Structure formats: C-alpha cells, structure tokens
Chain A
Amino acid sequence: MTELLDTPTRVGTGRGARNRRAYLMTAMLAAGAFALFVLTMMVGSYSVSAPDVIASVLHLRENPSVDFIVRDLRLPTAVAGLAVGIALGISGLLFQRLLGNPLASPDFVGISSGASLFAVSAIVLLNAGSTFVSGSALLGALVSSIMIYLLAWRDGITGYRFILIGIGVSQLMMSLVGYIVSHASIHEAREAMTWLVGSVGQAGSGELRTLVVALVILLPLILALERPLRVLELGDDTAKALGARVELCRLALLAVSIVLVGFAVAVAGPIMFVALIAAPIAQRLVGRGAGCVAAAGCVGAIITLGADLVSHQVLPVDLPTGVITGLIGAPYLIWLLVTVNKEGRGG
C-alpha cells in the first residue's frame, strides 16, 4: 500500500528532473545563440569588442563610428540571422511533429519552393524591389501550402499524403522556376539564383521588421499550442478521445508554421536544411518534452548565424548562407535518413 502511494511522487520527481535538465539545456542553447548574435556584430574588416557592441546596440554610449558599423551595417544581418533561424527552427519542428515524419521539413514538402517561384517571378518578370519580392515570397508560401492542404484533404489530412503531394507540388514549382530563370536576362538570372540559394545578408529592413513582429506575436501562441501538439502526436483517435479538436488544432499549428516559413523566406530566401536539422538536434539535446519548441528555435538561430559567420569570415570566397547550410546539412541529412529508417520512423 505504501509503495503504491509512493509511486506518484516518484514519477513526479523523475519528470521534475527531466524538466530541469530540459530548461537548463534550453537556457544554454539560448546563451549560445546570443553569443553568436553578438559575435556576428563583432567580427569583420573592423573588429569591435563585445562590450562596445552591447553598449552600442542598447544606446548606452555614443560613439559615432562604432555606432555606424554596429547599428547600421551589422545589426540588420545579425537580427536577420537570429530571427530567420528561430522561425525556421520552430516551423521545422512543428511540421515534423504534425506530419509525424522527421524528414518532413518545409523545404522538402513544397512550401519553400512555392515561395521561391513567386519571388523569382517578381524579380524577373516584374523587376520588383525587395519589399515586393518578399511580399510575393510570403504569398507563394501561402498559395502552395493551401494548394497542398486542399489536394491532400480526403476525410482529413494524413502526414503521408501531405508529404507526397508536397513533393509533387514542389517539383512543379521548381520546373516553373527553371523556366523563368532560363528566360531572364543574365543579370536578372544571377539575381534570381542568388536569391534562390538564400542569404541572411540580403534582408531589407521592412521585411525584417515584419518577421520580428510576427515572431513576437506568434511565439506565445506557439508555446500555448505546445500541449495540443503533444496530444495530437498520440494519434487522431486518442486525441479526439482526450477532447482535443483535432482538425482545428492541426490547422492552427500548420498555419502558424507556414506564416513563419513565409516571413523567413521573405527575409533571407529559401535557406536549405535549417528547418530540417534544427528540430532533431534540439530533441536530442532536450528530449521530446516541454521546452522543445524554444530549443528548436535556438538551434535554428545557432545554425543560421554560424553558417553566416563561416561564409563571411572563414571562407576565402563570399558564398551565400544557403550554400553553407547545404554543405553542413548534407552529411547530417544522410545520417538522419539512415537512422530514422532503421528505427522504422521514416514512413
């Protein structure tokens, strides 16, 4: 009898320890992301010390030359890297959890390619400025995801159909992108190709502000939706039995992640692999319980900022961020595919 009475407390302490570890890990990841954020503003052809950077960003000291370099030149890139990374990391996690497949990130299931098609059309066909390009990227993400959602709808959505139809839609979009690029003048084609690879540095201030505002509004919402997400993962029937409104929850979570992807792609182009690899890394470090969403966002920011630093400071040639994330992501992806399939979670 006493033993029986004891068990709940023991379970409770076990969960408490796990949660403490998760919070500690998340805090460390956040600190890492912040450190990279500051480092991005420190290094360059003229280096600035960390206290100077922080003082300048927070307007604690006035020093015109440092202020110009930090606030006007480097801060937008750093904020873009941070915000894009967080947005991609979180949306990747939501997609993978919702569709029940660790490989179902928005880059592969057609969301990013829809955004690419619209943005490239804007660059080549309409000679649009950066704000308009970003707006069309967002529109493209929405259009392609609505298309995939509707086409995959048959008495509800299954992750299986959503992924396959997403891959089909993505092929369609990419063949249209190829057509537009091949019909452009060489300068526009180069601009479009650069945009297609994705780079943190290409952010315009308007789009960046939109992304930051969206993150500030959506983050509390996502944290609130984390519990329904975990209920949904138990399977539709169980979730219904537990009283969750399955389709509504799924639609809300999908909508949030699509908006995040759309804004992120609008800022930096379709940077590959960040959304794919952030969530599995976060889950490995933190576990699948509480705080995973925040951790995934931090890992995404670390990857994006790190890739940007590597491309600008380490390599002799200045390459777009997307190339670096692609090269980091490739071996990881292969390893992920193999392990996931071994465990039988690949679908």
Chain B
Amino acid sequence: MSTLERSPNVETGPGARPRAGLVVGLALLVIGLVVVCFFSITLGARGVGPATILKAFLDFDPNSASETVIREIRVPRTLIGIFAGAALGLSGAILQGVTRNPLADPGIMGINAGAAAFIVFGIMVLGAQSVGLYVWLAFAGAGFATVVVYGIASFGREGATPIKLALAGAAVTAVLTSITSAIIMTHVDALNELRFWQVGSLAGRYFPVLAQTAPFIVVGIVLALGTGRALNGLALGDDLAVALGQRVRLTRVMMFVVVAVLCGAATAACGPIVFVGLVVPHVARMLCGPDYRWILPYSMLLTPMALLIADIIGRVVVSPGELQVGVVLGVVGAPAFIALVRYRNLAEL
C-alpha cells in the first residue's frame, strides 16, 4: 500500500528526469518567456527603453508616439504571440500523444488550412464581417479538418501511421486550398486582404482579435493541461489504456475537441502557422522525458518563446519592413522537420 501511495514520486522508465530539475526548468522557461516578451516589446522599427514601457502603463501620455506604440501595438502583439503560441504548442503535443505519431502537427495535418478555408468562405460567400464570427468559423474549420484527416488516415489495419497522416493532411490541405483559391479568384478585392493573413502573422490585428480569441484559448489551455495523465495512458497503447480503466474512445474525442478549439482560435488570431506545433513538443520531450504531464507545460512555454523570437527576427532582419512570423517559422521549421524524418525512428512514440 505504501509503495502505491509513493508511486507518483518514484520516477520510472527510460528518460525520466528528477522532479526538482523539472520544476527548476519550468521556472527558467517562465523567466525566459518574460525576457523574450521584454524584447518583443522593446525591439522594432521604433526602439523603446524600459522606462518608456513603465511610463506607458503607469502614467500614459496620449501625445507620446512611443507610448502609444507600446500600448496599441507592441503589447497586444506580444500577447497574441503568447496566446497563439501556447495554443499551437499544446495542440501539437496533444496531437502527437493522441495519434501516437511523431509527425502530427496542426500545420502538417491541415487543421490550420481547414480553419483558414472556413474563414475565407465565411468572409467571401456568407459575408461575415465581425471577428467574433471568424473565431466560430475557424473552430468549425479546424474541427472539420481534424475529423476528415484523422478519419481518412486511420482506415486500414495499421491505423494512422505517420506517412498516412502526412499524406492525408497534404491532400486535404490541397483540396481546401483549391476551394479557397476558387473563392479568391472570383472576388478580386478579397485577394488583397487575404494574402497577408494567409501567410501567418502577428501584425495588423490587435485588440479586437485578442478579445475574441483569448477566452477560448484560456479555456483550451486549462483543458489541455489536464490531459497529461490520459495521454500517458494512451502512450502505452490502446489495450493497456483500456486495462488501466481509460475510456479510450471518449478520451480521443475530447482531445480532438480541445485541439480544434486551440488551433481554430490560434488560426483566427494569426493565420495558418506551420511547423511550430510540430517541432517544439519534440524539443520539450528532449528536455523533460516522456511524461506528458511535463511535456504539456513545457510546450506551452516554449512555443510562445519560439513564436515571439521568430516575430522579433522578422521585424529586425528586414527593418523597417517585416517578415511575417509564418515565413520565418517555415524557413526555420522545415529543416527541423526534415532532420526529424531523417534521424528519428518514426515508430518511437
């Protein structure tokens, strides 16, 4: 009996890390995220110092351009980065756990493309105008794409293997893209608006977007952080998970709902962003071992850091213009993806 009670503290299995180290690591990540946020607010076409930031919030002067920039642009942008990053990282980690597939990612699986296609369809065909409606369309699209891609890929004996999932994702993305293009080609003015959003960017949409998407993301994050134990069960295989008393089918459905909410909200906030949800959970796994109760919070902190750093790079490299964060992540993420395919045994999860 006493051994059973102690069992949560006893680390077992390969790759498990001592608990104290994991907590310290988490604290370091929080500090790192704060530092990145600070740079995200200060760096840019108009450099501002820490004093100006403090002044912007404690003693706001509407006539000061720097303070207005901070309040109206930099801070909301950074917040969007944090929320969207956390959402993408968590959904990537959950997808990899649920599908037991190292290449599962909201971008590769076409979930972001689904959300994007539904938003375009809503704007162009149904005449949706409010950001509030975008979010619901994005949820619907993300959910639709998740169900279709995973459904298609899991036909057959071996279930959803990495290659089937990737191909189904690529195929569904292609279908959705061709529908999106058909709509865009017939509405010329729409092209001008959508081509910016389609790349994936933190720029241009601030407080209204934040207000509409943040509540959903917060709910999604809370739900997602609670799934660690269930994911650990699923990692043992369906049979063992059932034997341990899990209701596997119900768990899967719940997790896909959480993923759809997180991905949909993130896509509504900053457009389809690929690779970050794929690579960061692997980094998290390298840092903290195979326990999803730790992988989830690590991914949640690491992904916003990656997203904000990519955003800062995009702003600094081609200043005074900017590279969208989706482009930076595409360029940085593709080699990481390729390395993953080349050097990891893909049956590992």
Contact = CB atoms under 8 A, between A and B. Distances in A.
Interface of A: 101, 103-104, 107-108, 151-152, 154, 160-161, 163-165, 167-172, 174-176, 178-179, 181-183, 186, 189-190, 193-194, 196-197, 272-273, 317, 319-320, 322-323, 325-327, 329-330, 333-334, 337-338, 341-344, 346-347
B167 A165 contact: no
Contact of B162 (A151, A164, A169, A193): A164
B274 A171 contact: yes
Given A167-B166, A169-B338, A337-B167, 17 more contacts: A171-B274, A172-B331, A175-B329, A178-B198, A178-B199, A178-B200, A178-B327, A179-B323, A193-B181, A326-B177, A326-B181, A330-B175, A334-B171, A341-B156, A346-B164, A346-B167, A347-B161
Contacts of A160: 163
Interface of B: 103, 107-108, 148, 152-158, 161-164, 166-168, 170-171, 174-175, 177-179, 181-182, 184-186, 188, 191-192, 195-196, 198-200, 274-275, 321, 323-324, 326-327, 329-331, 333-334, 337-338, 341-342
A341 B155 contact: yes
Contacts of B107: 171
Contacts of A320: 185
A169 B334 contact: yes
B266 to A, nearest CB: 16
18 contacts: A160-B163, A168-B337, A176-B327, A178-B200, A179-B323, A179-B324, A182-B199, A182-B324, A189-B192, A273-B178, A319-B182, A320-B185, A325-B178, A330-B178, A333-B171, A334-B152, A338-B155, A347-B167
B167 A175 contact: no
Contacts, number: 170
B182 A163 contact: no
A176 B331 contact: yes
Nearest to B159: A341
Given A193-B184, A341-B152, A322 B178 contact: yes
Contact of B195 (A176, A182, A342, A344): A182
A323 B177 CA distance: 10
Contact of B330 (A163, A171, A347): A171
B342 A151 contact: yes
B182 A327 contact: yes
A323 B185 contact: yes
A167 B195 contact: no
A174 B184 CA distance: 17
Nearest to B164: A346
